[in-house]
Structure formats: C-alpha cells, structure tokens
C-alpha cells in the first residue's frame, strides 16, 4: 500500500532537516505554498507541520511562520553529556524548561535593546565579573528573592552555574584537595572536580539529607578542604535541608575550617525553604546559581557570590579563565531580573513542576519514587534484579532517554536507579511517556 501524500511530505522534509539540507532557523514555506509544492490540501499542509513539530524538528511562531528547530543531533554531543539526544527522542535525561511566551519575550527584549540609547555599549567587553550596575541588579534580586545580602562587588557574573562551579574550584581549591560531597551528587561538579584533580570523599545519605554525623567524622579523620552541598532541592534526590540541618552543617564547617560551596541551581523551585547556607556562613560560603533552569538553558547566565575577603582573588581567576560574560546575554538577563520577569517565570516553573510531579506520582505509584513535590526531576529505584544499563537500553529502543545513577554516584558502586527529568517534554506528554516507562520496566525479564 502506497504512503499517503501527507506522510510522503513529512518523510521528505524530515529527511532534509536531518541531513542538514534545511539547517536550524530555516523558514519553511507557508501552508499555502507547501500545499502547492506537494499537491495537497491546505488542511493537509497543517497536518504535515503538526507532525514535524511533534517530532521536534520544527517550531511554529504565530504571525511569523514555521522554522527548523535547533536541536543538535546526537553526534554533536560528547558521550558524557546529559543532553545527548537526537531529535526523535523523548528527553528525560535533561531539564530544558519552556514557558508560554518565551519567544515573544526574547523578541520584545531584543527590540528594546535595539532602540536603546547606547547600543554600541553591547559591543564592548565587560570587566571581569561584569559591570558593577548589572552585578548590583543580581545582588538586589538575591536580597529580595533569596534572603541573601551581598554587595555588588561580591557578585561575579558567569556563563551558567557549571562555569561558576569551575571558577570557584580554580579560585579556592588545589589539586589533591579533599572535598566532601554527597554519595549521589550533581555530575557537573564531579566532572569539574576531576579536571582539577580534586579528591572527592562521599558522605552517605540519611533521612532527607546527608548524614551529618558521617560528615563530621569524615572531617575529623581527614583534611577536608571544602564541602559541596545542594541544601535547597538536591539533585538528584530532591531533599531540602531544614534550618537545624543547615546550622549543624555550618558548625561542622567552622569547627574544621572548611570552605562551603553552595549550589543553588534548583533552589528557586522551593518557595518556603530555610535560609541559604551563604546567609548563615557568609565568611566561608561560595554561592553558585543561574537562570538556566528557571528561564532558559541557552541563556547561559549565572552568578557566584564570594566572601568579601576573597573578591580580589575571584576577579583574577575570572579574568584568567574566561575574562567576562557576553554583554548581550548580561543585558538581557539583568533586564529580566530588574523587571520582575525572572520572579514571574520562577513562579510559573514551580507551579508547572508541581503539576508534573503530581502526574508522575500517580503513574509511578508503588515504585519507590524519591522527589520533592515541586522538583523538575525524580529518582526512580529499579526493582531487584534489574540493572540500570538494561533499563536505559530498553527505553532508548523506544525513543526515551534517561540518566543512569552511575552518573551521580561518588561511591565505587552505584545503586540501580534512574534519574528522570520531567520538564523537557510538553505537559500533555508526561502521563503517556511515564506510563510507557513503567510498562517497559515492569515487562523486562529479571
């Protein structure tokens, strides 16, 4: 049986996109022109673009048309990257949140910048760490939204939280320094630590947080130079430390003269957490966060807050490692911070994450899910007898990508579990995709 004209058009256009004949950003024909090109009805042309959009190959913009979507092919990612997917995959390995009006907001902001008085200033290189007035905007945001008081001089603008962690390591740690980390922790910190030849010392988990007694014992036994923590929405386990836990952690750090690196990348998702570690121990805490997860992963705007006594050293390291952030990116991000746009988007992301977690708990009920109610990800332990490699391969065969526990483990043996990101797919796909995940897991031979 011959294929339908709609299917033929979809196959032809998808093939052109995948082989690069239609590169990202290419404007595709109007519905009327596409219909004439393939000899189909205008309604059928709409079906063609809807199917291409469902495949993740194109994006439609109201009033402007349909464009080839920028989704890097799998071969463009290193095998260690979390974002390693081809355009046909359902991405549960990486959180890439979107929100209504995202494109329109960027378009409006670019128009505003284009009509601003001193546009040429965006062509100039920033001083290391950013211009003082833009660092002040970040400092004001931290005061109002995070209960963190810091001067503009303590804030350094960087290309995302990952770069912030790397710069913090370069500035304050040396090869072979011992760093206490959770037994399951953020893979990006593991990679940055490996590049700087740090010795990671795992701290086992207790109920809803690290085992702080084990941390204290570790500090007593060894020469722990720093403690890396995610006190507000831990990645991947989703815990949020209580005020008492934070105080105990700070007491341990002070008693053993340890630096604290506080990663607050996902902290915006929790609207009633205890005070950040940096507010409790500003003299020894490096605070790192970004707008990647709350606004856009491609914005690559982050910031690091350092103790007042170490600002000169941080400035030297920023200058030596990457000098300064893009003036254009900084202008966009600080406009959105100053206008309250970021706070609005954070609220949207919290509400959206709660909806996704509610669906996830319904679909995966009884499977031992570990997650915060407003987290963009969850931790899924696997049934006894199932190996994570086996499950990930089975999911990949059905076009679903997931992260294995070994990417997060700092111990020799990783638990057999998956970390599933929930924010990269449309909300309406969450239930069917997770239902498919459950079905695959439950029907694999043990």
Residue 324 — very low, low, confident or very high, per pLDDT cuts 50/70/90?
Answer: confident
Q: Specify the pLDDT at position 254.
A: 98
> What H or E segment, with its residue span, contains residue 137?
helix 132-146
Average pLDDT, the chain: 91
Task: Decide if pLDDT at 206 tops 80.
Answer: yes
5-68 — its CATH code? Answer: 1.10.10.10
117-342 — its CATH code? Answer: 3.40.640.10
- Categorise residue 373: left if φ over 0, alpha if ψ from -120 to 50, beta otherwise: alpha
Q: 29-43 pLDDT, tens per residue?
A: 999 999 999 999 999
- Strands (E) in 18-86, as ranges, are 58-61, 65-68
Specify the pTM. 0.83
Q: How far apart, in Å, are the Cα atoms of 174 and each of 319, 362, 437? A: 18, 47, 43
Q: Specify the pLDDT at position 71.
A: 58
Q: Give domain 79-100+344-443's CATH architecture.
A: Alpha-Beta Complex (3.90)
Mean pLDDT of 228-243: 97
Pick the range with the lowest mean pLDDT from 12-16, 76-80, 123-127, 412-416.
Answer: 76-80
Task: Report the C-alpha gap between 94 and 162 in whole angstroms.
Answer: 14
Q: 363-420 pLDDT, tens per residue?
A: 999 999 999 999 999 999 999 989 898 999 999 988 899 999 999 999 989 999 999 9
Domain boundaries, the chain: 5-68, 79-100+344-443, 117-342
Query: Is it true that 79-100+344-443 and 117-342 share their CATH fold?
Result: no
Of 350, 182, 333, 207, nearest to 266 by C-alpha is 350
């Amino acid at each position: 049986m011959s294929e339908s004209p709609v299917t033929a058009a979809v196959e032809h256009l998808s093939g052109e996109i995948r082989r690069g004949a239609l590169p990202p950003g290419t404007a595709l024909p109007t519905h009327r022109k596409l219909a004439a090109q393939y000899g189909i009805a205008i309604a059928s042309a709409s079906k063609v673009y809807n199917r291409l959009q469902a495949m993740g190959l194109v994006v439609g913009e109201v009033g402007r048309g349909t464009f080839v979507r920028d989704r890097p092919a799998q071969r463009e990612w290193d095998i260690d990257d979390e974002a390693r997917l081809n355009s046909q995959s359902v991405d549960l390995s990486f959180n890439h949140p979107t929100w209504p009006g995202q494109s329109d907001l960027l378009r409006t902001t670019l128009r505003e910048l284009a009509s601003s008085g001193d546009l040429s200033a965006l062509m100039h290189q920033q001083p290391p760490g950013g211009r003082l007035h833009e660092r002040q905007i970040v400092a004001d945001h931290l005061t109002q939204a995070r209960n963190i008081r810091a001067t503009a001089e303590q804030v350094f603008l960087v290309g995302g939280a990952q770069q912030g962690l790397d710069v913090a390591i370069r500035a304050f740690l040396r090869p072979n320094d011992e760093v206490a980390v959770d037994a399951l922790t953020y893979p990006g910190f593991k990679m940055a630590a490996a590049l700087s030849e740090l010795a990671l010392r795992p701290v086992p988990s207790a109920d809803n947080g690290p085992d702080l007694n084990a941390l204290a014992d570790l500090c007593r036994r060894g020469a722990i130079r720093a403690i890396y923590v995610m006190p507000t929405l831990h990645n991947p386990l989703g815990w949020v430390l209580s005020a008492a836990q934070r105080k105990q952690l700070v007491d341990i750090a002070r008693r053993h003269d340890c630096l604290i690196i506080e990663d607050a990348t996902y902290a915006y998702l929790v609207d009633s957490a205890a005070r950040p570690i940096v507010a409790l121990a500003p003299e020894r805490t490096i605070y790192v966060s970004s707008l990647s997860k709350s606004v856009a992963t491609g914005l690559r705007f982050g910031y690091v807050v350092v103790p007042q006594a170490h600002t000169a050293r941080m400035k030297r390291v920023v200058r030596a490692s990457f000098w300064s952030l893009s003036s254009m990116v900084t202008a966009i991000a600080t406009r959105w911070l100053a206008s309250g746009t970021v706070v609005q988007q954070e609220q949207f992301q919290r509400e959206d994450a709660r909806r996704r977690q509610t669906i996830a708990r319904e679909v995966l009920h009884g499977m031992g899910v570990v997650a915060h109610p407003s987290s963009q990800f969850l931790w899924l332990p696997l049934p006894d007898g199932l190996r994570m490699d086996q499950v990930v391969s089975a999911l990949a065969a059905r076009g679903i990508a997931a992260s294995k526990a070994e990417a997060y483990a700092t111990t020799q043996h990783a638990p057999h579990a998956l970390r599933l990101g929930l924010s990269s797919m449309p909300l309406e796909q969450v239930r069917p995709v997770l239902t498919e995940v459950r079905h695959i897991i439950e029907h694999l031979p043990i």
